[in-house]
Amino acid sequence: MDLLAHSARRPRRDILVIAAGAAGLFAATWAGRTATAAGRPITITAVDTARKLGAKILVAGGGRCNVTHERVAEADYAGSSPAAIRKVLRRFTVAETVAWFEAAGVPLKVEDTGKLFPTSDSARTVLDALVREATRAGTELVHPARVTQLGKEGDCFVATTEAGDLRASRVILCTGGKSLPKSGSDGTGLRLAQSLGHSLTSPIVPSLVPLLLPTGHWITTLSGLTLPTAVTLRSATGKKLFATTGSTLCTHVGLSGPAILDASRHWLMTRDADAAATLWLNWLPGESPESIDRLLVEHQRRGGLALLRERLPDRLARTLCQQAEAVAGGDLSREARKRLVSLVTATPLPITGDRGFAVAEATAGGVPLAEVRLESMESRVCPGLHLAGELLDVDGRIGGFNFQWAWASGFVAGSAAAAAALAVPPVSTS
Ligand SMILES: Cc1cc2nc3c(=O)[nH]c(=O)nc-3n(C[C@H](O)[C@H](O)[C@H](O)COP(=O)(O)OP(=O)(O)OC[C@H]3O[C@@H](n4cnc5c(N)ncnc54)[C@H](O)[C@@H]3O)c2cc1C
């Protein structure tokens, strides 16, 4: 819609949703449905900076959009307190997500990994359904229009956009975090929340982001290799801070793949406080130093390389032996065996950084959930403002958890904002 043509004489809306990403479209839909169920229409506008809506939804899950996961619990998330995250997740469950998309004409299927995708294998069908349902529920979509300021005049919110002001009694702020800024989620929404009195957690770092190794590190020579691993983050004192098992991809600049992506936010969050905190990689998940040592001793004659090649890709087995200086075909010296055992089960990863928000799938940090009333997602510091989605200090592991957070928090914010709008008696026109 051409906002320019209308901005000067736009009437105050009941609800202004900033913006129309996953959480925003869902919140707008539920606001409209709540009003319809109450038999009293309300005015809902969703404004977004993007020329084409839903860029992030379209690229999600490799273009297939991993909409949710068969089992979602607070333990799948980091950031705010698990009890607070659970309270929101329980309001809109996976079963409700499945039913919602089915009713919207997008049946979902569960894959072996537990991830749910549309049976169409097309993210486009997910985006189209979200836009269709929001529109059907009465949402006016206004874009491209970037909100640059958000303030309050008495009980009226005023959103300043490049194309004019928008006024509303309630605002649902769903501008996402800072990941994939070219999609429109460039972090301005965090500043808007701050301008209305909210604090932001510190630091705010990329989540689900590939990690970098020093140039020329031996792992980078294995570029293209993908295999199951166990990744552990330990403090300088050796305390286990995070552990996960999953696929790891060696790249020409470092490491990626689900296990590394899941570990990334934990490493990035820890490094400022504990510069010596280290990620360790076990190339044979399930095996311990003791079990590998036993194996090497039992099969002493065959040598380390032969044993490792039975369990690991040839390229990796050779590289590990070279790095441990355990290349001899037959008997390993005790020292060489120890070096090999240690490298196979606990390769230290001298991470130098991350690939940044430009490629990160999510944002770790944001507005703390403690500043929001969980039953309505209404701000505790700015009445009438509701918040949802990745803007909040909640980030999920890989597997559909971030979208489930967007659906659940968007549902709560949209339904509650509409209920509050409906509680205000309609202005008499007689
Ligand atoms: C490459 C990639 C793949 C992903 N794959 C998956 C997946 O398969 N499954 C999963 O669960 N999660 C996935 N995610 C994460 C998921 O996309 C996000 O967590 C989710 O989209 C967050 O929803 P949101 O509505 O809070 O924010 P966003 O989807 O980021 O939407 C925010 C919206 O706000 C708009 N906006 C921002 N600032 C302004 C402003 N100032 N004025 C107006 N509009 C503004 C943006 O244009 C955007 O439309 C992926 C992310 C990426 C980057």
Q: How far is the CA of 372 from the centre of ligand 1 (A)?
A: 20
Distance CA 12, CA 10 (A): 7
Q: Give the span between the Cα atoms of 166 and 159, in whole angstroms.
A: 5
CA 399 to chain CA mean position, Å: 9
On whether the pTM is more than 0.75, the answer is: yes
Closest CA to 142 of 1, 19, 12: 1
The residue ranges of the chain whose pLDDT is under 70 are 1-9, 327-330, 426-430
Which among 336, 353, 57 has a CA at the least distance from the CA of 205? 353
Q: What residue owns the CA closest to ligand 1's atom 17?
A: 56
Q: Among 361, 394, 404, which residue has the most ligand 1 atoms within 8 Å of its CB, making it the best to mutate? A: 361
Residue 332: per-residue pLDDT: 80
CA nearest ligand 1 atom 29, residue: 21
Q: How many Å separate Cα 277 from the centre of its chain?
A: 23
Of the residues 26, 403, 405, 409, which should be mutated to test ligand 1's pocket, given the most ligand atoms within 8 Å of the CB? 403
Is residue 409 lining ligand 1, measured as CB closer than 6 Å? Answer: no
Ligand 1 touching residue 399 (CB < 6 A): no
Ligand 1 neighbour 210 (Cβ under 6 A): no
Q: CA separation (Å) from 292 to 7, 296, 297, 304?
A: 69, 6, 9, 10
pLDDT of 329: 61
- Residue pair 220/213 in contact (Cβ under 8 Å)? The answer is yes
Q: Is the CB of 176 under 6 A from ligand 1?
A: yes
Is the CB–ligand 1 distance for residue 400 below 6 Å?
yes
Q: What confidence score (pLDDT) does residue 303 get?
A: 81
Q: Calculate how far, in angstroms, residue 293's C-alpha sits from the geometric centre of ligand 1.
A: 46
Ligand 1 atom nearest to CA at 22: 25
Tell which phi-psi region holds residue 169, choosing left (phi > 0), alpha (psi between -120 and 50) or beta.
alpha
pLDDT of residue 50: 96
Ligand 1 site, residue 178, Cβ cutoff 6 A: no
Instruction: Output DSSP code: residue 367.
Output: B
**Is there a contact between 166 and 408 (Cβ–Cβ < 8 Å)?**
no
> How much distance in Å is there from the Cα of 22 to the middle of ligand 1?
6
Kindly state if the Cβ of 49 falls inside 6 Å of ligand 1.
yes
Ligand 1: atom nearest CA of 177 is 30
In short, whether 293's Cβ falls inside 6 Å of ligand 1 is no
Quote the ligand 1 centre to 129 CA distance (angstroms).
16
Pocket flag, ligand 1, residue 372 (CB < 6 Å): no
- Nearest CA owner, ligand 1 atom 51: 361
- The β-bridge partners of 66 are none
What pLDDT is stored for residue 429 in this prediction? 42
Rg (CA), the chain: 25
